[in-house]
Structures are given as C-alpha cells and as structure tokens.
Chain A
Amino acid sequence: MGKPNDLVQGTLDLLILRTLSPQPMHGWAIAKRIQQLSSEVLQVQQGSLYPALHRLEQQGWIEAKWAESETGRQAKFYSLTAAGRGQLEKETANWNRLSAAIDLIVTEA
C-alpha cells in the first residue's frame, strides 16, 4: 500500500477533475462514478482517492463544501474551481497527445 506511482497519480488527478466537471460530488460518489464509467475496470482505492482529493484542494483546483447528501447525511462535496477547469483542459490535451502517441507505437509496431 505504498504511494501510487507518478503515472497513476497524474492520471488519477485527471480522472477526478473530469468526473467533477459536470457537477459537485462527494468522495464516495467520485470513486463509484469512475468505476461505473470505466465499466468496472478502474477501481480507485480510498488510500489513493482521499490524498489526491486533499492535494487537489490544497492546490486550488477543486474546492470543498459540506452539504446534505442524497441520504440526508452531511457530506463533503467537491467541485471544480475556475483554475481547476483550466487545469482539466490542459491535462486532457496532455492525455490526448500522450495516448495518441502510445497508440501509434502500440498499433504500428
């Protein structure tokens, strides 16, 4: 249960930002959402999720607010900040470039 390596960590940040882009969500929902959208391929461990969320919050890309959840209990909802949207665009572009490059190598070779 060591620290996630750089590639995974960078990717996790992108996934979280992307997941939060339509609407604010709490941690558990983010994990669920990523799991659903990836058709159960990507399982985000709590041990990675919460440190990542707190780090993104410290960096000012997402902000947190306590609000009532769907079960009526208080939960910490994260939402994208303006800076976070910019960061999401940058990271998406990065990812596209990277994955296209990897794709090229994998399919051509």
Chain B
Amino acid sequence: MRWLTQLRMRMQMLFQRGRAGAQLDEELRFHLEQQIAENIAAGMNSDEARFAALRAFGNPALLREQARAAWSWTWLELLWRDICYGARTLKRSPGFAAIAILVMALGIGANVAMFTVVRSVLLKPLPFLEPDRLVALYEHSSDDQFPYNDIAGGVFAEWREQNRSFSSLSLLGEAQLNLAGAAGQFPERLRGVSCTWNLLSTLGVKPALGRDFTAADDQPSANGTVLLSWGLWKRRFGGDPAILNQTIHLNRQSYTVIGIMPAWFAYPDASTQLWTPIYHDKPAQTMATLDSHQFQSVGRLKPGITAAQGVADLSVITRRLHDQHLNDPFISKAANIHPLLEGMVGDIKGPLYFLFAATSCVLLIACLNVANLLVARAAARRKELAIRSALGGGRLRLLRERLMESFLLSAAGGSLGLLLAYGAVQWLVRTRQDLGRVEAIHVDGVVALFTVGLIVTCALFAGLIASWTVRDKRLFASLQDSARSSSGGQAHTGMRRALLAAEVGLTVVLLVAAGLLLKSYARLRSSDMGCATQNVLTMRLTLFGGRYGEPAQLVNFYSALLTRVRALPGVEAAGFVQAVPGQGYWEDEGFAVVEHPPLPQGRLQYAMLRGADPGYFAAMGIPMLRGHTFDANRQLDQANQTVISESFAKQYFPGEDPLGKHLRTLGAGAHGYEIVGVVGDTRYSVAEDPRPMQYYPLSAGLWNNGTLVIRSAHDVEQMALPVQRVVQELDRDLPVSDVLTMDQLLGKSTLDASFDATLLAAFAALSLLLAGVGLFGVLSYIVAQRTSEIGIRIALGAQREQVLRQMLFDGLRPALFGLAFGLAASVGAAQLIRSMLYGTQPLDPAVFAAVAGTLLLVAALACIAPAWRASRLDPMRALRTE
C-alpha cells in the first residue's frame, strides 16, 4: 500500500502546499524553541540562549528551501514562480504587453483559422468507408481538349458491364427539382442529384432513417423514389419520421420518400438536398448515348487494384467504343481518374495552401516583431541582468525567465487567437457555402493542439532570438560603460536591424502577392462581358410536368410570359435565354455547315449553344453586327433560323459571308438552320475568353429551362416582385430562383478571386502595419540611446538637417535591405501564384513599383518622427540626461 500513501502525499503536496509550508515553519520553530529551552536549562539567560540556538540553527530560509526540495512538485512551484515573475515584469509595461499579445493573437489566430480550413477540407479523409479506394472517373476527350470531361450515359453502361477493376461503379447527374408546395407551402426549387441505385453502397453510407435504393427502384418502369437530406427533412417536413413512405411531388411527378440521409452526408456537395434514381428519371436515350457528356461517376477500386490499373482498364473499354464509332468524333478515346477527394476539392487546393502560406508569413512577422520588442526590453534591462549575473544568477535561470516572458505573451496571444480563429471560421462557413466540403470545417481537438504547438514554437522562436542577443560576455561590459554611454546601444541594435529587414522583406512578398491578386480581380471585374451589365435583372425558371410535355406548350408559355413582362410599367426590354453571359458554359453541340464539304473523319467541329427568343439580344444589349434576329412568327418546325457570334463567323466562315448559309446540328432536330444574323461575342465566364456561340430560336420548343432577362432604365431590382407575380399568375406551382441583377451575378462568379484578394490584402496591410511599428520602435530606441551623443554633436556645431538626414538614413537602412530582399523573393512567389492571376503578369512592373513606393512611404513615415525629434534636441538638456 506504499504507492497509495505516496499518492496521498503527492496530492497533499499539490493541493495543500500552503498548509504544508505553514506546518514546516511551525516544525522548525518548535525545534528552535526546544533548543532555547535546553540552553536555558544549561544556565544561559534567555537572550543568550536565543542567540546560541539561532547560531546553531543556521540560515532558516535555506533550511526551509532544503526541506521543501524534498517535497514533490517542486518543479511546478518553480515554474509558477517564473510565471508570476514574468507576469509581474509584463505588468510593469502594459503597453508593450498589450501590443505584443495583440500581434501574436492576430498572427496565431489567422494561422489557426487557415489550418482549420486546410485540415478539414484537404487533409481529413472523406467520411466514407475506406475512402482511399474511392475514385472520381472522367472521360478523356478525343481532341485532348478536355482530359477530365463529363461522362456519357452509354459509356458508363459499357464501363459497368466490362470493367474488371472496380467492385462498384456509380453514375450521378445534377437535377434541378421543383418541389411542389403542399398545404400552404410555397413551391421551391431544390438542387438534387440523380444517381444509380448503388451510389450509397459504393460510398459505404447508409440512410439515417428508412432504406437505401434497390436495383428495382432504378428502372424507367419503377415508381419514383427519393432520399431526403437531413436538412431538408428538418426544414420542410419538421423532422417528422411519418414522411417515410409518403409521396411528394418533384417536377410534377410523384416520388415516395424512402429514406433520410445522415446530417453529415454532403455528396457531391453541401447544397444537394435530394437523391433520386437516375435510370428512372432520365430518358433511356440519354442513358444510352455515347457522345453526350453530362454525368459524373464515382467508383470503388477492388482491393489490391491501383488507380493506374483501374484507369487503364476503363481506357481500353473507351478506346474500343471510340474505334467502333470512328465517324463520331465526340466519343472519347480514354478514361481518367482522380482520387475522390481530389475530384471534390482539387480546384480550391492551390488557393487554400497559398493563403495558408500567407498566414504563416504573417505569423513569422508577428514573431519577429515580438522578438524585436523583447530585444528592446532586454537592452533596456541590460544593467539589471548584468548585476544579477554578477551576483551569481545562473545563465540558465536568466534564459528561463526570458523564455517565460515570451511564453506568457504567446500563450495569451494564442488563447485570444484561438477565439479569433473560431470567429473567423464561423464567418467563413457562413459566407462561403460554395466551398467544397465546407460542412466538414470545424474547430476541434487537433486544432487546439495545433494552437498549443504554435504557441510553444512562437514562444521559443521569439524568446531565443531575444536571448541570443543577451550574451554573458557583453553583459559585464555594460556595467563598465554605465557612466557615460555616449555612443551606447549602437552595437546592440544590429540584431534588431536584421530582424526588421527580415520583417520588411516578408511584408514586401505579401504586398506583391496581394497587389497581383487585387489587380487580377480588378481586371476580372472590368472584363468586357460583351453585353449590358447595368440595370439588368435575371431569374431562372424550369418548366416541368404534364403542362409542358409538348414543345408547343413550352413555346406558348414563353411567349405569354414575355408579352406580359414587357407590358409591365418600367420594363424597357425583356428576353429569355438558356443562360446569360457569366452563367457558365452550359452546353455545346457539334454542327456541320451544309454549304461546306464534309469534314474528314475524326475531325470535331462544335460550338457553344444557346436557345434564345428574338428579343434577347436587344434586351441583353448584345450588338447585332449583321443581319437580323429570329423571325418571331416562325415556331416549332418552322423555326429554322440561327444567329451566330462574331468569333463563330471568324472561325468557321473565314473570308466568306455567313449570312444565308445553313448549319446542321448533330444532335436532336437534325434539319438545317439558316444563318440570319451575326451578334457580338459574349463571355460565358468572367475569367474565360469568348468562345464561338450558336443561338437557336426558343420558339423551336426544345428548351424547358433558362434565364429571364429584364432591362429597365433604373432601379431594376424593384422589378423582381412584379415579374415574379406575373410568373405566379401564369403558373402557380412554378418556382423562380436565382433572382440576381447582372452585377450581382458577376460578383458571385468572381467571389473566389475577390475573397482571395481581399484576405491577402488584409494580411499584407497587417504586415505593413507591423513593419511600420517595428521601424518606429527601433529608431526611437536608437535615438534615445544616442541622445547624449547627438547632444554633443549639436553642441559642437552639427547642422540639424545633417542630424535629421543621418537618423533617417539609419532608420531606413534596414527597410531598404528588406525591400531589396523582398522584391527578389517576390519574383519567385509570384511564379507560384501564376495560376491564380487573370490578365496580370507575375512580374507586373506597376504592382512591384507600387509596393516599393508604399513600403518606402510607410518606412519614411515611421522614421520621420524619431529622426525629427533627434534633430530638435536641446543640446544642454540632452547632455544632462545622464
């Protein structure tokens, strides 16, 4: 039972240390009294007895120390004493402490927030069964233009039948679903996914409630079945399990709810709210075609099969299909593969790592700044330190104190930083729902550990740099030059200058990167879309169900809608198109020019395609360069006119007149269309150059969804409600979505660029501020150190301008070194972010010049006050300061 006694003693020593101390004092006092009593008994008088006893007793403080040393937890006591001492030292200069803690908090906070995001999004394995065996599959197009292309239904069917490398393969495609409003609820448009029945089993996931799809559900003849997301179930159905086996209406078809997915499940992304079986939903022809690329696929590799083997297997199958249909150049010639995680977040990986690197720079700057402040304090306390080490203060002991001080600073900063990071992460998750895996971002134990690690690293880094400058040998010299330190401090500022130069250098790198990104963003926002962007309102509509089963019904709806919208007061023009500029690539289609000789076998000829109404070009402000728009009276089969874009004309009709020529599309409705007009180019995405575009008349009745465009002289946003009312009057169950002005729409599509640029600019501004503060601090310190020297020089007749110039030069020198070093480093850093730039060269001279100018300006501002103070010194007062 000895260990129990020992444990009890340890606990006593830990928790009742004060009492144990009192008891020790009491015990020693008792000993003393006994000795005195004995001395008196031996015949001494009481004073004599006391002195003799005390003499025999020795140094009571030392005795107490020695007894205490036998106790447990002495190290803890010493640590606590160091902490108290450090805290007291910091309390004596609260301004310094507050600044240092704030600097650390910002540095650590930014880093922890970025680490949380990077870890959650990029590093954590996907929450699926054996995620390393899951891969995203792609087709590799035969012209090598699209190595990671979407998959055609027929190709997938062949893969599934013939492959020998995958234990299961699943197909999925986006589905926009109109959820009908029941019992007083509004109709709602939701993002869903049509998938093969085995999607969940491929991922290794089960519904939280209800059942998974079966093969029988995934057939054209089956009854409709649907899985709901946890969020949709809670929000729309009140989290009531009774919804299971009930029927809901999606796109006017009935679906039985068979299950609810777990709350954490977000595949393919967080906005997916419904899952339905794909072979039930999609026309059999779509699922059999080999050249219409519109689906994604995920596969589970068999154990022991590598991704390379899997891709080779699928490529052989694809190649065989390609060779069997050599007349169709749209059939791919190979397959491609990504690990599933890469497929889901690959596009944000680079920017995230880049931002993480930027926050690391900020932290490094913060550490350098705190180290700098500590060096300044150490220099100011040199005499104290010298005296203490002369009196026998151990070198280790002094080092420990110094480290403890920087540890306290970074611990306080880190705790504050963790709070900041928590807030920043919450904000990010709220504002960036579009990021991949955003639902997985959480501050958790590992993040807390990371924070602790950062705190310790920063403390050691800042503390050791600061301690390194306080070396014993030089310490004693400071006692000697105490009388008149006429040029004191000069030698000791070397370290601080070096730190400052490093700080300035890092700041320059951040500034350059931020400048390049900001310029890219400005370029993006000012890129010419080829259409009107002011006072244009857009909203999306999707027509589904029996009411729009026939092309004529679609055509009638569009013409009724446009007629009524155009009649609204305030509407200048209105049009309808599949997708407006900036809304994405959407669709392309192969075509042949009837008047041209047939293309050689295997040659592709395709262009982006839009269905539009005759008034769209005018409403959107797309200039009609030649010819005219569609004839509004030609409908359905009569609608055989087409309008092409300028670059289409240039590429496919070089040196000839396209008007009057005919296009024949390869897809459905393969009759000829006469080219009646040429319009200006537009961009489908802000960051992409315009591509050739073919427009076909909406009145052909081929499109059941698109964007309504409304232009007004002013305050176009106010038109949103009246227009929505018109839609409701036409069809009560038709939801309207994405109601955005053209400006908002473009802003949304440049969100990434603006986000990266803004964050980086904030980091760079912070670093600039820190560097400025650092410069100011160092020069102020130098001036204070050299007060008497400057006084003597002024007294001897030095010109004040001369003093000012010299002090300025002194302060600016580290900034100049840092600037040169930073500009050189920026050349490398800029190459790394090349892929994030748009319309901006990595070595953009304007950005580099602006950064150099800004930095010099800030440095000069930081130095001018101390330098001015030095030049205005009153020599008499300066000489009297010591």
Which residues of chain B have C-beta atoms less than 8 A from A58's C-beta?
A: 6, 9-10, 13, 70-72
Which residues of chain A have C-beta atoms less than 8 A from B67's C-beta?
A: 50-51, 53-54
B30/A28 in contact, CB under 8 A: yes
**Contact of A83 with B2 at beta-carbon distance under 8 Å, contacts A50-B67, A58-B70, A74-B26 already known:** yes
Tell yes or no: A12 within 8 A of B by CB: no
**Contact of A1 with B71 at beta-carbon distance under 8 Å, contacts A26-B30, A59-B6, A76-B23 already known:** no
CA distance A68 to B26 in the complex (A): 13
B34/A60 in contact, CB under 8 A: no
Query: Nearest-CB distance from A100 to chain B (Å)?
Result: 29
Which residues of chain B have C-beta atoms less than 8 A from A91's C-beta?
A: none
Stretch of B58-66, B195-203, B261-269 that contacts chain A: B58-66
Tell yes or no: A81 within 8 A of B by CB: yes
CA distance A31 to B53 in the complex (A): 14
Query: Nearest-CB distance from A50 to chain B (Å)?
Result: 4
Tell yes or no: B323 within 8 A of A by CB: no
> Interface digits, B2-27 against A, CB 8 Å rule (1 contact, 0 not)?
11011001100100000000011011
Report the nearest A residue to B37, measured CB to CB: A71
Cβ contact of B27, chosen from A1, A27, A47, cutoff 8 A:
A27
CA distance A54 to B27 in the complex (A): 11
CA distance A108 to B697 in the complex (A): 125
Cβ contact of A75, chosen from B30, B66, B68, cutoff 8 A:
B30
> Interface digits, A57-84 against B, CB 8 Å rule (1 contact, 0 not)?
1111101001001010111100001110
Interface centre among B3, B23, B30, B58 (most CB of A within 10 A): B30
Query: Nearest-CB distance from A64 to chain B (Å)?
Result: 9
Tell yes or no: B622 within 8 A of A by CB: no
A45/B58 in contact, CB under 8 A: yes
B30/A76 in contact, CB under 8 A: yes
Report the nearest A residue to B4, measured CB to CB: A60
Cβ contact of B5, chosen from A47, A50, A60, cutoff 8 A:
A60
Tell yes or no: A94 within 8 A of B by CB: no
Query: Nearest-CB distance from B56 to chain A (Å)?
Result: 8
**Contact of A50 with B6 at beta-carbon distance under 8 Å, contacts A55-B70, A58-B70 already known:** no
Which residues of chain B have C-beta atoms less than 8 A from A82's C-beta?
A: 1
Cβ contact of B57, chosen from A46, A51, A81, cutoff 8 A:
A46
B58/A50 in contact, CB under 8 A: no
Tell yes or no: B349 within 8 A of A by CB: no
Which residues of chain B have C-beta atoms less than 8 A from A60's C-beta?
A: 2-3, 5-6, 9
A73/B33 in contact, CB under 8 A: yes
A54/B70 in contact, CB under 8 A: yes
CA distance A83 to B59 in the complex (A): 33
Tell yes or no: B31 within 8 A of A by CB: yes
B27/A50 in contact, CB under 8 A: yes
Interface footprint category on B: 20 to 34
Query: Nearest-CB distance from A20 to chain B (Å)?
Result: 15
CA distance A46 to B27 in the complex (A): 11
Which residues of chain A have C-beta atoms less than 8 A from B69's C-beta?
A: 51
CA distance A41 to B590 in the complex (A): 114
CA distance A56 to B28 in the complex (A): 17
Which residues of chain B have C-beta atoms less than 8 A from A81's C-beta?
A: 2, 5
Interface centre among A26, A52, A60 (most CB of B within 10 A): A60
Report the nearest B residue to A49, measured CB to CB: B31
**Contact of A83 with B5 at beta-carbon distance under 8 Å, contacts A45-B58, A46-B63, A71-B37 already known:** yes
B58/A73 in contact, CB under 8 A: no
Tell yes or no: B35 within 8 A of A by CB: yes
Report the nearest A residue to B58, measured CB to CB: A47
Which residues of chain B have C-beta atoms less than 8 A from A55's C-beta?
A: 70
CA distance A58 to B35 in the complex (A): 26
Query: Nearest-CB distance from A73 to chain B (Å)?
Result: 7
Query: Nearest-CB distance from A10 to chain B (Å)?
Result: 15
A1/B9 in contact, CB under 8 A: no
Which residues of chain A have C-beta atoms less than 8 A from B68's C-beta?
A: 54
**Contact of A50 with B28 at beta-carbon distance under 8 Å, contacts A55-B70, A60-B5 already known:** yes
Query: Nearest-CB distance from A96 to chain B (Å)?
Result: 24
Which residues of chain B have C-beta atoms less than 8 A from A50's C-beta?
A: 24, 27-28, 63, 66-67
CA distance A45 to B59 in the complex (A): 12
Query: Nearest-CB distance from A14 to chain B (Å)?
Result: 17
Which residues of chain A have C-beta atoms less than 8 A from B13's C-beta?
A: 58
Which residues of chain B have C-beta atoms less than 8 A from A27's C-beta?
A: 27, 30-31
Which residues of chain B have C-beta atoms less than 8 A from A57's C-beta?
A: 9
Which residues of chain A have C-beta atoms less than 8 A from B37's C-beta?
A: 71
Which residues of chain B have C-beta atoms less than 8 A from A76's C-beta?
A: 23, 26-27, 30
**Contact of A28 with B70 at beta-carbon distance under 8 Å, contacts A57-B9, A58-B6, A83-B5 already known:** no
Report the nearest A residue to B66, measured CB to CB: A51
Which residues of chain B have C-beta atoms less than 8 A from A3's C-beta?
A: 66
Query: Nearest-CB distance from A59 to chain B (Å)?
Result: 7
Cβ contact of A63, chosen from B5, B30, B72, cutoff 8 A:
B5
Which residues of chain B have C-beta atoms less than 8 A from A61's C-beta?
A: 2
B72/A1 in contact, CB under 8 A: no
Which residues of chain A have C-beta atoms less than 8 A from B57's C-beta?
A: 46
A28/B34 in contact, CB under 8 A: yes
CA distance A54 to B9 in the complex (A): 11
CA distance A71 to B58 in the complex (A): 24
B30/A73 in contact, CB under 8 A: yes
CA distance A47 to B58 in the complex (A): 8
Which residues of chain A have C-beta atoms less than 8 A from B1's C-beta?
A: 82-83
Cβ contact of B71, chosen from A26, A31, A52, A54, cutoff 8 A:
A54
Q: Which of B296-342 contact A (CB under 8 A)?
A: none
CA distance A104 to B5 in the complex (A): 40
Report the nearest B residue to A3, measured CB to CB: B66
Which residues of chain B have C-beta atoms less than 8 A from A1's C-beta?
A: 58-59, 62
Report the nearest A residue to B10, measured CB to CB: A58
Interface centre among A51, A54, A63, A71 (most CB of B within 10 A): A54
Cβ contact of B35, chosen from A28, A47, A59, A71, cutoff 8 A:
A28
CA distance A11 to B706 in the complex (A): 97
Q: Which of B585-630 contact A (CB under 8 A)?
A: none
Which residues of chain A have C-beta atoms less than 8 A from B33's C-beta?
A: 73
B5/A46 in contact, CB under 8 A: no
Query: Nearest-CB distance from A2 to chain B (Å)?
Result: 10
Report the nearest A residue to B20, measured CB to CB: A54
Q: Which of B20-56 contact A (CB under 8 A)?
A: 23-24, 26-28, 30-31, 33-35, 37
Report the nearest B residue to A60, measured CB to CB: B5
Report the nearest B residue to A26, measured CB to CB: B30
B70/A46 in contact, CB under 8 A: no
CA distance A9 to B6 in the complex (A): 21
Which residues of chain A have C-beta atoms less than 8 A from B5's C-beta?
A: 60, 63, 81, 83
CA distance A54 to B70 in the complex (A): 6
Report the nearest B residue to A48, measured CB to CB: B66
Which residues of chain B have C-beta atoms less than 8 A from A45's C-beta?
A: 58
Which residues of chain A have C-beta atoms less than 8 A from B3's C-beta?
A: 60
A69/B66 in contact, CB under 8 A: no
Which residues of chain A have C-beta atoms less than 8 A from B63's C-beta?
A: 46-47, 50
Report the nearest A residue to B33, measured CB to CB: A73
Report the nearest A residue to B57, measured CB to CB: A46
Which residues of chain B have C-beta atoms less than 8 A from A47's C-beta?
A: 58, 62-63, 66
CA distance A63 to B10 in the complex (A): 13
Interface centre among B33, B62, B70 (most CB of A within 10 A): B70
Which residues of chain A have C-beta atoms less than 8 A from B9's C-beta?
A: 57-58, 60
Which residues of chain B have C-beta atoms less than 8 A from A83's C-beta?
A: 1-2, 5
Query: Nearest-CB distance from B49 to chain A (Å)?
Result: 15
A-B contact pairs, 5 of them (CB 8 A): A28-B30, A50-B66, A52-B70, A54-B68, A58-B6
Chain B interface residues (CB < 8 Å from chain A) = 1-3, 5-6, 9-10, 13, 23-24, 26-28, 30-31, 33-35, 37, 57-59, 62-63, 66-72
Chain A interface residues (CB < 8 Å from chain B) = 1, 3, 26-28, 31, 45-47, 50-55, 57-61, 63, 66, 69, 71, 73-76, 81-83
Task: Kindly list 7 other residue pairs between chains A and B, CB separation below 8 angstroms, not including A28-B35, A60-B5.
Answer: A1-B58, A46-B31, A50-B28, A54-B67, A69-B30, A75-B30, A83-B5
The 5 A-B pairs at the shortest CB distance, nearest first, are namely A60-B5, A54-B70, A55-B70, A28-B34, A83-B2
